[in-house]
Structure 1
């Protein structure tokens, strides 16, 4: 495996964690998963976004920063590859959608300080699915606080992600996940594994699933 640090990204309900688990097993990789359940502001945010957006995003950024810094300090000599189900820049992208301008400017200053100390992944796998598919997945996993997420919110997150990836010319395996079933369809997982073995330049590389 030519990549030592692989990050999987995508919208809420895109299937990031499922794919991260599968890839870590296939590649014998260390697995880094976002610990969103530990954020006490998450259910409150969905009930009252304006009041709880700032503490929500600060908590997420602090936890992600700590997790990735710990990962750097504890290199595993038996696992040369790390797979994460998030990109640290996710902090800034969600904050851009969730925070008013003044709070976002303050948040960005804190983000810039932390971001300098974090290693950027060698490659990003981005799972792109239409909002209807995301909503179906969200209903299926049945987290109570997610069940009333508006379509417009998911669309805004999607646009922010794709805009960032294209603007910064990040080396990205861009997967059309409209019909993705990585858990039960080996052919879908094989598309991702084959893409990771390919010689890819910087920028986006689009793959469809059989």
Structure 2
């Protein structure tokens, strides 16, 4: 059965770049790797991501529910072939979706919040083959101000509405969430990821990837 590696962290920390670099290195080591990225393109295609950032009060429940369902669908389609791979690398766990809901709690009615929790409980058994209990979590721990500047510079549709306050809420929620994970690799000041941006610094990206592999 494949070993699950989950890349976790705030918005605009380079998760996708890191996943690609890690997958490439593991493949060079003769490992069979499958990468599962968040279906951001699909969220943008239907327009819900842009609508959510534009009017979170109106669209938080719609977006978070749709995001969770599409991520579940990605895992369901992979589930039957897990044994074909040595590693499956995920961009965020479905279990960390709740952090984004909690950061948006003021934008959910009590009814919507309970409905969301019920949806998650209903869908969870569909991906029971994914052993998240024994997964390795790689936690990107950039300073929140760095995340905010990167959000601004990458100019993704809809993200111009992301606030520093929202990122700070996510940071606090993530720190608590990750503190409870027994199998984790923290990437922060130990690898100077604020000053050395591995998204554009190939040498540093390789150093970060090698560090992760040494900890697996």
How far the C-alpha of 1:189 sits from its partner, in A, is 3.2
In structure 1, the partner of 2:30 is: none
In structure 2, the partner of 1:88 is: 94
In structure 2, the partner of 1:7 is: 6
Matched, 1:126 2:146: no
For residues 181 and 162 of structure 2, what CA distance do their matches in structure 1 show? 30
Q: Which moved more, 1:184-193 or 1:170-179?
A: 184-193
Report if aligned partners of 1:6, 1:125 keep a CA contact under 8 Å in 2: yes
Report if aligned partners of 2:8, 2:140 keep a CA contact under 8 Å in 1: yes
Q: Which moved more, 1:175-184 or 1:131-140?
A: 175-184
In structure 1, the partner of 2:115 is: 106
In structure 2, the partner of 1:53 is: 60
Give TM-score, length-normalised by structure 2.
Answer: 0.82
Instruction: Map Cα deviations across residues 13-34 of structure 1 (whole Å, 9 max, x no partner).
Output: 0111110011111112211111
RMSD (Å) for aligned C-alpha atoms: 2.2
Q: Which structure 2 residues correspond to residues 1-210 of structure 1 after superposition, within 5 A?
A: 4-28=3-27, 29-39=33-43, 40-75=47-82, 77=84, 79-99=85-105, 100=108, 102=110, 103-118=112-127, 119=130, 120=132, 122-166=135-179, 168-176=180-188, 177-183=193-199, 184-198=201-215
How many corresponding residue pairs? 196
Structure with greater proportional helix content = 2
Q: SS of the counterpart of 2:94?
A: coil
How far the C-alpha of 1:36 sits from its partner, in A, is 1.3
For residues 5 and 174 of structure 2, what CA distance do their matches in structure 1 show? 17
Q: Which runs of 5+ in 2 are unaligned?
A: 28-32
Q: SS of the counterpart of 2:162?
A: coil
Q: Which runs of 5+ in 1 are unaligned?
A: 200-210
For residues 212 and 81 of structure 2, what CA distance do their matches in structure 1 show? 28
Report if aligned partners of 1:92, 1:111 keep a CA contact under 8 Å in 2: no
Q: Structure 1 stretches (4+) deviating beyond 4 angstroms?
A: none
For residues 124 and 160 of structure 2, what CA distance do their matches in structure 1 show? 32
Give TM-score, length-normalised by structure 1.
Answer: 0.84
How far the C-alpha of 1:188 sits from its partner, in A, is 4.5
- Cα distance, 1:32–1:180 mapped onto 2, change above 3 Å: farther
How far the C-alpha of 1:45 sits from its partner, in A, is 1.0
For residues 82 and 11 of structure 2, what CA distance do their matches in structure 1 show? 29
Q: SS of the counterpart of 2:6?
A: strand
